[in-house]
Chains A and B, each alone.
Chain A
Amino acid sequence: MEKHVGTDRVKRGMAEMQKGGVIMDVVNAEQAKIAEEAGAVAVMALERVPSDIRAAGGVARMADPSIVEEVQEAVSIPVMAKARIGHIVEARILEALGVDYIDESEVLTPADEVYHLNKRDYTVPFVCGARDLGEATRRIGEGASMLRTKGEPGTGNIVEAVRHQRLMQAQVNKVIGMSEDELMTEAKNLGAPYEILLDIKRNGRLPVVNFAAGGIATPADAALMMQLGSDGVFVGSGIFKSENPAKFAKAIVEATTHYQDYALIAKLSKNLGPAMKGIEISSIEQKDRMQERGW
């Protein structure tokens, strides 16, 4: 019987199944189990969470494969892992390890300052960060099967994720409202592949799911991003940098499902203990902002 692996439908479909869910950063089997127990739809296996990467400085690379394997063995939900932007071999290693999704991520130090990965070459699907529709459609053009806002990772500050989500939404709506003869100029202005803008216009939405990421620190933050139209959320440092990760993780999952049930989110937000301390964006120099990585 003929079968086809790694098709767009199979890769994008995997992300569709994650909708309405929370994907959590974890650094070991114990955290992965807490995440699964709390109702995460997937985990991102890392060596360090973004706030620790930010604090440590230096070059951030793909996690040690033994961490990825440890997490894969600990849980039955999908396991994702990050490769450096443009690092063909890190991505191939993660694919060989059997991770379910690769995040070509600006949280790690880029390996290539000119080219992102040609994600169509791989059987494993990719998620990429984007700040606007130009970046988003370039990544889709390269074969990304899922998008996320870049936000500003490891800050516990939602402001950049909100900015990226609002901008992308506004640009998508603009494209949908344009007439087809205006699209080529819009493609030129955005640096976007024309065919993908045409697809967005004809179908009335992005062709892949778009999650929120980068700075989500509380249940209310997660609900805010859902309300702004995100399909789901990634929570990085927010959970395991809080004082009671299990409780925090559950609260974020619930707030994401019921993002318009404010009485419930109020209840969830009680006595969670302090969230991560967080960083004001203007105090981070432009060159140190992770969102500036990639293009």
Chain B
Amino acid sequence: MINIGILALQGAVREHAKALQAPDVNVIVVKKVEQLDEIDGLVFPGGESTTMRRLINLYGFYEPLKDFAKKDKPIFGTCAGAILMANEIVGQMEPHLSVMDMTVERNAFGRQRESFEAILQMDQIGNNIEAVFIRAPIIKKVGPNVTVIATYDGDIVATQQGPFLACSFHPELTDDHRMHQYFVKMVREPAIHA
């Protein structure tokens, strides 16, 4: 069995739990720092990144999450989760956890009325994957060690850097769980991305 945690400070936790389901996966809803010791991989769900960051600080998650990433344990961030992982955020002095070499711009497609659904092609994961973009960020720039997994209309919307996977949309809101299956595989077989 592998244990995959979902950081449950705020946001869409239940949807990720459903999308991660596999016979050998035990999903753990992470609300306390100690729980990080029990898990092999971690999901940062969608939600409000500013809210999540404040709660990360408030509950003493900041250093433990950085340590978790330093051990090269797989992390998957969606939307707000991807913002938490970036090492640069357009218009902000400081990034959050800074685990991936990429620059993100928040709400880059516009406000809620500009939020949309689209179909994406991903060589590593599969074709015709449904993606729901909600006040979504865009990944403006990536470092040399970052692989672009998906683009939409020329903008980068999914990336991977070793054990870290990020996307600006919400695969957890669809019934197409291929991205989660890909992440589960990253947790199951750490060697493939080491």
Binding site for B on A (CB under 8 A): 1-7, 9-10, 13-14, 16-21, 36-42, 76-78, 95, 98-101, 123-125, 253-254, 257-258
Contacts and interface: CB of A to CB of B under 8 A. Distances in A.
B107 A10 contact: no
A124 B115 CA distance: 9
A100 B116 contact: no
Interface of B: 8-15, 31, 46-48, 50-51, 54-55, 58, 79-80, 106-107, 110-119, 132-135, 152-153, 170, 173-174
Contact of B8 (A17, A20, A41, A123): A20
The 8 residue pairs across chains A and B that have the minimum distance between CB atoms: A100-B112, A39-B54, A3-B116, A20-B10, A16-B12, A41-B48, A123-B113, A98-B111
B112 A14 contact: yes
A45 B134 CA distance: 21
Contacts of B8: 20
B107 A76 contact: yes
B9 A20 contact: yes
Contacts of B58: 39, 254
Contact of B47 (A7, A9, A19): A19
17 contacts: A5-B113, A10-B132, A13-B173, A14-B134, A18-B47, A19-B12, A21-B10, A21-B11, A21-B47, A41-B47, A76-B50, A76-B107, A100-B112, A124-B112, A125-B112, A253-B54, A257-B55
B10 A10 contact: no
B152 A1 contact: yes
Nearest to B8: A20
Given A17-B134, A257-B10, 15 more contacts: A2-B119, A4-B117, A5-B116, A9-B132, A9-B173, A10-B115, A10-B133, A10-B134, A17-B12, A39-B51, A41-B51, A76-B106, A77-B48, A100-B112, A253-B54
A42 B110 CA distance: 16
Given A101-B112, A125-B112, A21 B48 contact: yes
Nearest to A232: B10
A169 to B, nearest CB: 16
Contacts of A78: 48, 112, 135
A13 B113 contact: no
Nearest to A77: B48
Contact of A7 (B50, B55, B117): B117
Contact of A13 (B152, B153, B170): B170
Contact of A17 (B47, B110, B118): B47
A68 to B, nearest CB: 12
A21 B31 CA distance: 14
Given A13-B173, A20-B13, A3 B118 contact: yes
B51 A10 contact: no
